[in-house]
């Protein structure tokens, strides 16, 4: 079963535990600036929205890479940057429609979410369930259930 990161922005409080978990997993430090998942704080509405790579099947970043530095992790479906191959040309950052692959000045390479090899640290760290790691085929299950509940558990008119 392939799993994906599923984001429910309504549950996000903006605590940034996910960003710290990401930087700790990948760099061994707490540095939100190095996180591959970002939480955006829309002050005028009060909404906080985590955002990261959705691991497109036909990934623009992968196809755009001239040196084939981005490959598919067969176990997880994640598109993974191989640092030893990446030349830092940044073409993938232009190709990605979502902005979720980014250049890192310090290393001269790009970085993106790789699902932590199948156990994403951000989802584990999220205290509210705003970020979960679930069956890719059933990301809508929770929402369907909520509506099914509304439909099926109404007091009957008869």
Partner 1 sequence: MAWAGKILRVDLTKGTVTPEPLKMDWARDYVGSRGLGSKYLVEEVDAKVDPLSPQNKLIWATGPLTGTMASTGGRYTVITKGPLTGAIACSNSGGYWGAELKMAGWDMIIFEGKSPKPVYLYINDDTAELRDAGHLWGQSVWYTEEALKKAHQDPLLRISSIGQAGENQVLFAAVVNDLHRAAGRSGVGAVAGSKNLKAIAVRGTKGVGNIRDPKAFMQVTFEKKKILHDNAVTGQGLPTYGTQVLMNVINEMGALPTRNHKDVQFEGAKDISAEAMATPRKTDGKKHLVTNQACFGCTIACGRISKMDEGHFTIENKPQYRGANGGLEYEAAWALGAANGVNDLEALQYANLLCNEYGMDPISFGATVGAVMELYEMGVLKKEQLGIEAPFGSAKALAHFAEITARGEGFGKEIGQGSKRLTAKYGHPDLSMSVKGQEFPAYDGRGIQGIGLAYATSNRGACHLRGYTVASEVLGIPVKTDPLESEGKPELVKAFQDATAAFDSSGLCIFTTFAWSLPDLAPQLQAACDDAYTVEELSKIGERIWNMEREFNNRAGMTPKDDQLPKRLLTEAAKTGPAKGKVNELAKMLPKYYEVRGWDKEGRPTAETKKRLGL
With CB under 8 A as the contact rule, the residue among 8, 26, 34, 54 that binds partner 1 is: 34
With CB under 8 A as the contact rule, the residue among 8, 26, 30, 60 that binds partner 1 is: 30
**What is the longest distance spanned by two Cα atoms in the chain?**
69
The answer to whether 80 and 110 have CB atoms below 8 angstroms apart is: no
Taking residues 93 to 132 in sequence order and writing x for each that binds partner 1 by CB under 8 A, - otherwise, the string is --------------------------------x-xx----
Site stretch for partner 1 (CB under 8 A), options 31-39, 93-101, 110-118, 140-148: 31-39
With CB under 8 A as the contact rule, the residue among 14, 49, 77, 103 that binds partner 1 is: 14
Site stretch for partner 1 (CB under 8 A), options 40-48, 73-81, 82-90, 134-142: 40-48
CA-based angle 54:3:73, to the nearest 5?
Answer: 75
Rounded (10°) CA dihedral 18, 21, 27, 33:
30
Residue number with CB closer to partner 1 (7 or 125): 125
Per-residue tokens: 94:
């232009």
Question: How many Cβ atoms sit within 10 Å of the Cβ of residue 9?
Answer: 15
Q: Write down the residue that tokens 């640290």 correspond to.
A: 121
């Amino acid at each position: 079963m392939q799993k994906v990161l599923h984001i429910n922005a309504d549950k996000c409080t903006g605590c940034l535990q996910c960003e710290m978990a990401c930087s700790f997993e990948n760099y061994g430090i707490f540095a939100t600036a190095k996180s591959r998942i970002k939480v955006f704080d829309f002050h005028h509405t009060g909404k906080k929205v985590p955002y990261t790579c959705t691991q497109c099947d036909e990934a623009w970043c992968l196809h755009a890479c001239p040196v084939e530095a981005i490959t598919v992790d067969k176990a997880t479906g994640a598109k993974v940057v191989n640092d030893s191959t990446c030349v830092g040309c940044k073409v993938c950052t232009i190709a990605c429609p979502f902005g979720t692959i980014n250049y890192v000045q310090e290393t001269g390479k790009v970085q993106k979410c790789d699902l932590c090899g199948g156990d994403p640290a951000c989802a584990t760290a999220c205290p509210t369930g705003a970020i979960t790691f679930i069956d890719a085929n059933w990301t809508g299950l929770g929402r369907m259930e909520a509506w099914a509940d509304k439909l099926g558990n109404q007091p009957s008119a008869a």
